[in-house]
Every structure is written in structure tokens, then in C-alpha cells.
């Protein structure tokens, strides 16, 4: 581990890793990376269809941010009409296992979390 890496602490204000955690922890980023990891290169329209509820603007912003961070590659093919595809980079591929683990955890524990929410809401509900 280099000195620079060792000095990074996401719990400290201003640490660049916080920004990265925000990016990869963002709902749409997780879903875009999951989709590209599972199905490979994809066009914008396919991603939009697969990610129910994402707006065109949000998907564009997410893809640009992931591309800027080096996690997604945008390839423009000089065809008529122009074809654009998005795919995970080698760096992005390193996130597949952690994201898959989070997805599996969420599927496994959804009912537990929903029950906890219901119990919490019942305990904290204001009478009357």
C-alpha cells in the first residue's frame, strides 16, 4: 500500500475517496454498472429500457460521470445513423463482485428490512 493510499480516509472531510463512494453508491450508478456487468456493452436506449424509472437526463449524467471516473467506456461508431455503446472498463469490472454482493444482500434481506421499517413506524407513530 502506498503512502498516498494509506493516508486516504473516507471518514475525513475532503478525502477524494468520499466522492468516489458517492459515485459508486449512487442508485443509478449501481444499476448502470450492474446492467453493463451482467449483459455487456449496451446502447443508451437499451439501458433506458432496462433501468425502469430513470430519466434520459439522469441516465446521461450517470453515464458521463462513470465515464469520467474511468468505470465506463463510451464508443461512437461512425455509421449512419451514429451508433454509441457503453461498456465497463477494466477498472469498472473490478466493481462487479462487490456490487453483486450488495445486490444479493439486498434481495436476501428485503423482507427483514421491510419488517424493521414497519416495526419502527409502529413504535414511533404519533397517537391521534
- Tens of pLDDT along 29-77? 999 999 999 999 999 999 999 999 999 999 999 999 999 999 999 999 9
pLDDT of residue 3: 47
Q: Which residues pair with 84 in a beta bridge?
A: 76
Rounding to the nearest 10 degrees, give the CA dihedral for residues 94, 98, 103, 105.
160
Share of the chain above pLDDT 70, in %: 94
pLDDT for 5 equals: 55
Q: What is the pLDDT of residues 34-43, one digit of tens each?
A: 999 999 999 9
Place of cell 428485503: 110
The pLDDT of residue 128 is 60
Amino acid at each position: 500500500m502506498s503512502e498516498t493510499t494509506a493516508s486516504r480516509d473516507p471518514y475525513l472531510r475532503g478525502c477524494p475517496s468520499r466522492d468516489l463512494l458517492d459515485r459508486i453508491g449512487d442508485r443509478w450508478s449501481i444499476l448502470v454498472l450492474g446492467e453493463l456487468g451482467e449483459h455487456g456493452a449496451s446502447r443508451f436506449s437499451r439501458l433506458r429500457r432496462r433501468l425502469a424509472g430513470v430519466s434520459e437526463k439522469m441516465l446521461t449524467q450517470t453515464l458521463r460521470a462513470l465515464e469520467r471516473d474511468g468505470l465506463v467506456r463510451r464508443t461512437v461508431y461512425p455509421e449512419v445513423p451514429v451508433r454509441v455503446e457503453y461498456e465497463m472498463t477494466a477498472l469498472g469490472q473490478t466493481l462487479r463482485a462487490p456490487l453483486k454482493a450488495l445486490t444479493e444482500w439486498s434481495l436476501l434481506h428485503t423482507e427483514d428490512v421491510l419488517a424493521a421499517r414497519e416495526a419502527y413506524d409502529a413504535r414511533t407513530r404519533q397517537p391521534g
